[in-house]
Amino acid sequence: MPENLKYNFIIKIIMAWGQRRVYGESRIDECPFCGKRCYIKNPQGIPVCKDHQNKTLENLKCVCGEWLDLRQGKWGPFFTCMNCGNMSVKKAMQMNNLDPNYR
Ligand SMILES: [Zn+2]
Ligand SMILES: [Zn+2]
């Protein structure tokens, strides 16, 4: 196999792997406040429904007691804890009893 073809082949594998990873991420397309479909984002960049477009997630705590920090990732917002690392918005809301599906 010529060197440049080999290179293209490797790039293709890497890209396919990257795409699979995107599907593996828990994408939020439901409003975290009510579970309705999301069409817009709140001021924090979290996808929300029309009714909750001005609602924000603040002062969320991790199970370990640390405050959670909202970050903007490549695939959308997520929370991060100093001790436990990154977690999805949904998981952070479950920890704080804010997930409508778990109440
Ligand atoms: Zn909503
Ligand atoms: Zn923690």
Nearest Cα to Cα of residue 22 among 86, 74, 85, 89: 74
Dist. CA 2 → ligand 2 center (Å): 50
Cα torsion 62, 66, 71, 74: sign: negative
pTM reported for the whole predicted model: 0.65
Which ligand approaches the C-alpha of residue 87 most closely? 2
Which ligand approaches the C-alpha of residue 66 most closely? 2
Dist. CA 86 → ligand 2 center (Å): 9
pLDDT in tens, the chain (103 residues): 777 788 888 778 777 776 655 544 555 578 989 989 998 999 999 999 999 999 999 999 999 999 999 999 888 899 999 999 999 998 999 999 887 765 5
